[in-house]
Amino acid sequence: MTSHSNLAAVAALVLGTSLAAPVLAQPTAVTLEGDVKVVHEVVENGKTRETLDEPNQVLPGDRLVFTTHYRNAGDKPVTDFVVTNPLPAPVKLSQTGAFEVSVDGGKSYGPLAALKATGADGKPRAAELGDVTHVRWRLASIAPGASGDITYFAEVR
């Protein structure tokens, strides 16, 4: 997986973008390919290990891993690469990761620990994994031909 944690570089790249003439109807250079697997725990020789299986069967409580494979198929770097993934309603995020999350339907993003949600009593409370509505990855740039996977784990509610 390519690095996608260099968030600080994003601002610099935005400022440093060259003022090339606008190009219209440029073919899409980046492709996204989604996949999902079910995470199963297998005990072998007394050790538990996780396997990723085809989701032939999905039940409440199952843990899923959603993967998006991205690739810059163009011959130039792309910048300010932001991938947004609304969580399907039937799942809840099961762990945080190298991504930002939103608990307000994608209006605002941040680390989960910094976000607030509204509790059953109508008062603000610390946001929890189950509150997450969107996850978002930000990569400063993708070199031509470069590719990688971004993933999140979620549990079927």
> How many beta carbons lie within 10 A of that of residue 41, not counting itself?
9
Q: How far is Cα 62 from Cα 93, in angstroms, rounded to an integer?
A: 12
- Residue 83 interacts with another protein (CB under 8 A): yes or no: yes
- Residue 117 interacts with another protein (CB under 8 A): yes or no: yes
- Residue 90 interacts with another protein (CB under 8 A): yes or no: yes
Q: How far is Cα 136 from Cα 127, in angstroms, rounded to an integer?
A: 16
Binding-residue pattern over the window 21 to 60 for another protein, x denoting contact by CB under 8 A:
xxxx-x-xxxxxxxxx------------------xxxxxx
> Helices marked H in 1-137 — which ranges?
8-16
Rounded to the nearest whole angstrom, what is the least distance from the CB of residue 112 to another protein in the complex? 15
Rounded to the nearest whole angstrom, what is the least distance from the CB of residue 91 to another protein in the complex? 6
